[in-house]
Amino acid sequence: MKVVDRIKQSKSPLFSIEILPPLKGKSIQSIYSIIDPLQEFKPAFIDVTYHREEYVYKKREGGFLEKVSVRKRPGTVGICAAIMNKYHIDTVPHIICGGFTKEETESALIDLHFLGIDNVLVLRGDAVKNERSFIPEPGGNAYAIDLVKQVVKMNSGKYLHEEDVLDVAPTNLCIGVAGYPEKHFEAPNLTSDLRHLKAKIDAGAHYVVTQMFYDNQKYFDFVKKCREMGINVPIIPGLKVLTSKSQASILPKTFFLDIPQDLLDALEKCKTDADAKEVGIEWCIKQAKELIKSGAPVLHFYSMGSAEPVRRVASTVF
């Protein structure tokens, strides 16, 4: 079922999670061990992230360096299929621009359609580690809006090379995009960022999932500004439980977000990471309760490979 249809049909806020594909060499059980403890909260859908290939340079004979492609995590499509087969829960695979031609993107979307997957979250994706800024794949999409447009065309039965398609079967994918309550780090300001978001909605995206945040007021202000700009689709808040003292400095650098001073003060008083996790859980519970009271359609939790903190928050608010 489409994410937007689940939201329309639900009389109460929904619970959803986002998981990371396991590192190469680990089994699918590492994912099941996250989903199993959260089954009691009946996840409406499960997002599965995509991690593009990386490159390393290996020294060869004669001192030459060879660029070698390394993929650290298995593909998202197969993981989504495994989750749906085992749990009968809708999945939302992440589709990114980086590393894919338009033809490869089309093939992935066709596979998702054949599997009965109804939703995708489309993202530009990050630059690879050895690049200073994002560089599109030759023949690929450069921006998330280009991905949105490609999915919309396929939803109307328009493929890249229609002359090669004898019997065109349109896809029927619900399209999610990312929103940034504290603005995307590359945007010059929040208004500019919102205009880009509005363009993606106008192009055919159906809902927004936000980057994690720790100050609910920033989410409320973001939603208000979105509505004023004419963005009227569901805006799903993304939550991540802080589980260690170091995350107070790591997360702002990685995701370009602010940690409220009250939360930072509480974390600085913690003597151990176990104490910090308790502070993080309590903070997230307060966030979740306020978001539910304000009418948030879904609480979307970034699990980051651990179910226990999410379970403790969900058991209090759902």
Q: Specify whether the CB–CB gap between 49 and 18 falls below 8 A.
A: yes
The number of folded domains in the chain is 1
> How far from chain centre, in Å, is Cα 70?
22
In the chain, where does DSSP find H-type helix? 3-9, 29-35, 76-87, 102-114, 144-155, 190-203, 216-228, 247-255, 261-268, 273-294, 308-317
CA distances from 22 to 76, 129, 304 (A): 10, 20, 11
Residue from 49, 93, 200 nearest 208 by CA: 200
CA distances from 37 to 32, 45, 76, 307 (A): 9, 15, 21, 7
Range of the domain at 115: 3-317
- pLDDT tens sequence for the chain (318 residues): 999 999 999 999 999 999 998 877 778 899 999 999 999 999 999 999 986 655 445 666 666 666 545 554 447 888 999 999 999 999 999 999 988 899 999 999 999 999 999 999 999 987 676 677 778 888 999 999 999 999 999 999 898 877 655 567 789 999 999 999 999 999 999 999 999 999 999 999 999 999 999 999 999 999 999 999 999 999 999 999 999 999 999 999 999 999 999 999 999 999 999 999 999 999 999 999 999 999 999 999 999 989 999 999 999 999
Q: What is the CATH classification number for the domain harbouring 44?
A: 3.20.20.220
pLDDT of residue 76: 87
Neighbour-count burial for 200-234, b at 16+ CB within 10 Å, e otherwise: bbebbbbbbbbbbbbbbebbbebbebbeeeebebb
Q: Specify whether the CB–CB gap between 113 and 145 falls below 8 A.
A: no
pLDDT of residue 126: 74
pTM (2 decimals)?
Answer: 0.91
- Which residue bears the tokens 């010059």? 188
pLDDT of residue 125: 83
pLDDT of residue 72: 47
Q: Side chain identity at 243, as an amino acid letter?
A: T
3-state helix, strand, coil in the chain (%, to 5): 45, 20, 40
